[in-house]
Amino acid sequence: MNGRRWFDSQDKVVPLAGVPRLLIELAERRGAPRPLLLRGTGIFDQDLRQPGHCISADQLLRLVANARRLAQGADLPFLLGHRLVGAQGGPLAELLHASPDLRRALVNLGRFRALWQPLMTILVQWSAERIHLQLLPVVELGDEATFIQDCLLTALAALIRQGLRQPPQLQVQLGYDAPRQLAQHQQHLGQHLEFGAACTGLSLARHHLQQRWPDHCPADYQQQLALCRQLWRPSAHSIGLLEWTLRWQRRHLRPHLRQNLTIDHCAAAAGVSTATLKRCLQRQGTSYQQLGDELRKQLALHRLATSLCSNEQLAHELGYSDGHNFRRSCKRWTGLLPSMLRQV
């Protein structure tokens, strides 16, 4: 990967033993022949027998497309999500269930998520009463984004419910229109669903974050933590291109760093030329400017919904020259003025 500090959709960083293997097994049970599942993916039977074998994000997405087309039933992503946090989920699932509370489980999930899949990350945001867990892609997911999102939302919701041993009121946001049949979504994600949302994720009462999980066992926790460390050692290339760029942009939104919020500075920090960074982002269907705009949008919508900040305060936080430019961007994002989006 040369001097890069991130991976893109062509780099082989997805462990075959995580989501890919579970998806293959599940799709086969739903009537999908393995040769057709693997066709065009560059994955072979002998790869499945090699411990530690990795594939690229592009290969996983082609596998997802094949499974969606060949397997019977529309509940495939939800069942896959449950398998991730079940006995089939391996050491990471064991570690998450053995964690002392949700806060530590989220830390471990962020650190070792590649044992399942490294295609999405969780952005944790706060309000006075709730914690918001937003799913963000780290590489371009294309037509398979909804499948990956539904799978991980199901896994998160199931983990939280099992960890707390009670049904917390989860509010789930989905960035696509409501399907004709809601039964699958309600069964696996809950009754409090918002479709067509500006972001994809879920939220729950903030006091659940450090509420001790009844199944926590310190000895088991340390054992599973050591095993996950042995199986996956995060490297300089453990972060996807989109996630790395968004992290860099968010850090440089701070007023004392804002003068360096340019693609030239970002490329230098990434260890590539500006032209290379532009080209890599273009392959992912986006640009440096588009990512920056999306970052400001997500931060602004969260702040508008959870705080009493004025337009001028938000404009300063997000790097706009004045409140007028912030209002204009808000209208472009949502069709609404900031005053119409405030919920507190």
283, with CB counted inside 10 A (0-12, 13-18, 19+), is: middle
What pLDDT does 6 receive? 85
Which distant-in-sequence residues (6+ apart) come within 8 Å of 82 by Cβ?
Answer: 154, 155, 158, 188
Whether this prediction's pTM lies above 0.85 is answered by: yes
Average pLDDT for residues 236-250, to the nearest whole number? 83
* Alpha-helical runs (H) found in the chain: 19-29, 34-38, 45-48, 57-70, 76-84, 90-98, 102-112, 145-164, 183-189, 218-231, 241-251, 263-270, 274-283, 288-306, 311-318, 323-334, 338-341
Pairing of strands 193-195, 171-174: parallel
The pLDDT of residue 331 is above 90: no
Q: What is the CA radius of gyration of the chain?
A: 20
The single-letter DSSP state of residue 330 is H
How far is 57 from 8, CA to CA, in rounded Å?
8
pLDDT on residue 343: 56
What are the CA-CA distances from residue 71 to residues 28, 30, 68, 218, 344 (Å)? Answer: 7, 5, 6, 40, 45
Q: Are 133 and 124 in contact (CB under 8 A)?
A: yes
Answer yes or no: is pLDDT of 236 > 90.
no
CB 9 within 8 A of CB 58: yes
Encode pLDDT of 134-188 as tens digits.
998 888 899 999 999 999 999 999 999 999 887 788 999 998 999 888 999 999 9
More confident residue, 320 or 22: 22
Q: For residues 326 and 303, give the distance between their C-alpha atoms in angstroms, rounded to a whole number.
A: 13
Q: What pLDDT is recorded for position 289?
A: 93
Q: What is the pLDDT of residue 344?
A: 41
Reported as a pLDDT band with limits 50, 70 and 90, residue 333 is: confident
pLDDT grade for 109, boundaries at 50, 70 and 90: very high
Q: Domain extents for the chain?
A: 74-231, 241-341
CATH of 241-341, picked from 2.30.30.60, 3.40.50.740, 3.40.50.360, 1.10.10.60, is 1.10.10.60
SS3 call for 169: coil
Task: Check: CB of residue 106 under 8 Å from CB of residue 208.
Answer: no
Beta bridge partners of 240: 7
When comparing pLDDT for 51 and 195, which is higher? 195
For the ranges 182-186, 223-227, 337-341, the lowest mean pLDDT is seen at 337-341
Overall average pLDDT of the 94-115 stretch: 93
Give residue 3's pLDDT.
63
pLDDT bracket for residue 237 (50, 70, 90): low
pLDDT of 41-81, one tens digit each?
A: 999 999 998 888 999 999 999 999 999 999 988 899 999 99
Whether residue 263 is predicted with pLDDT greater than 70 in this model: the reply is: yes
- The mean of the pLDDT values for the chain is 89
